[in-house]
Chain A
Amino acid sequence: MESSLLANLAILVLAGFVGFAVISKVPNTLHTPLMSGTNAIHGIVLLGGIIVLGLGGDHLDVFSKILLVVAIAFGTINVVGGFLVTDRMLGMFKGGPASARKPAKAVESGGGAGAGGSASRNGAGS
């Protein structure tokens, strides 16, 4: 047990440095998606809920089981929601601002009076 604790502590420290190193310099525009992406990753707590519930067997009382089901549901929301939201967020500016305009323009084209004119102007601008 002691040796596994030390190994785990070593992993903990190294992971900390990896985290610091990866996020050395990030453009401002990516702050929100990156926050959302890391947010999804800590949904890993889902595993904790599954392990405690799965290995707990019938040892756990009903209330504990309810708490763990809630914990697993919470973790799942964190993971699934987190990755999906990040993906949607990144979809807004895939390939830079030029293509980020397109989807919005497609939505706009029904009612937007000047949509046609904008295409040429924006094209010239960028």
Chain B
Amino acid sequence: MNVLVTVLYIVAFGMFIYGLMGLTGPKTAVRGNQIAAVGMGIALVATLLVPGMSNWVLIVIGIVIGTLLGVPSARQVKMTAMPQMVALFNGVGGGAVALIAWVEFRDDPGYVSHPGYFVVASLFSVIVGSISFWGSLIAFGKLQEIIPGSSIGLGRLQVALNAVLLVAAVGLAVVIGVGGTSEWLIVGILLISAVLGVMVVLPIGGADMPVVISLLNAFTGLSAAATGLALSNTAMIVAGMIVGASGSILTDQMAKAMNRSIPSIVAGGFGGSGTAVGGGDTGDKTVKATSAADAAIQMAYADQVVVVPGYGMAVAQAQHAVKDMAKMLEAKGVTVKYAIHPVAGRMPGHMNVLLAEADVPYDQLKEMDDINDEFARTDVALVIGANDVTNPAARNDPSSPIHGMPILNVDQAHHVIVLKRSMNSGFAGIDNPLFYDDKTSMLFGDAKKSVTDVTEELKAL
């Protein structure tokens, strides 16, 4: 590798690091992203300058196809579909890693003419890249509602099956490592890892998907670093490893922000059956379930209803149904407002964008500080798939892990109706006393269906 290429690589990964630092602050984020993008451009140019390159036509074809597919999909994707788009982009990155390692194997069966570290790094890339590709596709499918967002899996058996699959994939890799040269070995690894990727993500509920995508993102970063190690390409090593490391931390922070642990997310089993109160520590507390009809009556005779949307509304894509319901209520003389918590939805402005998409008038959307004093004057607070941002423990209970987090004072409303998939589908790490409050009633089910049902009941009134 000549000096110019190496120097350009150093410039490039310097820009990645600097850009990434920018991305961690709200004011510098836009520029940070641009700096990282320029760094990527430099790394690309440097690679094209590597001496002895050929197959130019094919390289250009690949880049052109990628650009033609990537640019429009990034430009046109709706803001509501951002998380799944990121999942898709992450997946293809993992796929690229796996394909590269596969070609290396085809070119040199069994990697026999390569040193040991090359074999290890390549096989790692194949397994992790394939898991990341298929896992990301499932995550995309779930968020896009091609696959049901609820938990699909075998329960306890799932973990055992996944372990068997992982052992099988690693086993085949070991066979290659000790001299196996059949292409079926690598194809077998690709397939088993694919099944593993599907199996790992399938049982995870829709609300946890952003954390899963972040985890797969870190995986893809590590596999890119491994490929860089195999190819002795410093830009790939640095970029991949930084993503692997920062992605792991970020995953942990996201999980913590949702009061979930990564192992419990990966263990899956959420958002499924819709069974009522579960778990031992809720023994002496009871929740009050309500019906769509009762909720409709309660709201129809209210003066003011405040809607508190959360991630559940985004997952259920319920914003249009919510808008229709609000219209019905307004026709009955009820004032409807929306309380927007800054971190509701796990994406800056997520709720604003969703509701704007549904043509909710902007003057009805209230920021947390503007609406919090109004809850005491509110007859009904309708919580749609929001949990932690309404948890009074953040205000009252110093022992709570989210103590001190600013919340919407939903508990001060006269009545609270909580739309939720089920009691045990929530963010398991933490209990929400709001749900056990005497003035709270729970309407279980998919947010969109519940809201639609309420609207139907309102029409019948």
B-binding residues in A (CB < 8 A): 1, 4-5, 8-9, 11-12, 15-20, 22-61, 63-65, 67-97, 100-101, 104-105, 107-108, 111-115, 117-118, 121-122, 125-126
A22 touches B20 (CB 8 A): yes
By the criterion CB–CB under 8 Å, are B16 and A41 in contact?
yes
Given contacts A69-B65, A70-B62, A104-B362, contact A55 B53 (CB under 8 A): yes
Tell me whether B220 and A42 are in contact (CB under 8 A). Answer: yes
B257 to chain A, nearest CB (A): 5
Whose C-beta in chain A lies nearest to the C-beta of B51? A55
- Give CA–CA (A60, B229) in the complex, Å: 21
| Residue of A with least CB distance to B218 | A38
- State whether B242 touches A74 (Cβ < 8 A): no
Is B180's CB within 8 Å of the partner chain A? no
Contact of A41 among B29, B40, B58, B234 (CB under 8 A): B40
Across the A-B interface, give the 3 residue pairs with the lowest CB-CB distance, nearest first.
A76-B66, A19-B245, A72-B62
**A75 contacts B96, C-beta separation under 8 Å:** yes
Given A31-B346, A82-B89, A92-B349, 13 more contacts at CB 8 Å? A19-B243, A22-B21, A28-B343, A32-B348, A33-B33, A39-B86, A49-B100, A52-B103, A64-B103, A85-B82, A97-B367, A111-B359, A122-B363
Interface size on B (CB < 8 Å)?
117
Contact yes or no, A23 B249, CB < 8 A:
yes
Most buried by B among A35, A76, A82: A35
B103 touches A97 (CB 8 A): no
B31 to chain A: closest CB distance in Å?
Answer: 9
Pick from B16, B48, B79, B89 the residue with the most CB of A within 10 Å: B89
Mask, B34-60, CB within 8 Å of A = 1, is 101100100110011010111110110
Chain A nearest CB from B64 CB (Å) reads 8
CB neighbours of B54 from chain A (8 A): 54-58
Q: Which A residues lie within 8 Å of B229 (CB)?
A: 5, 8-9, 12
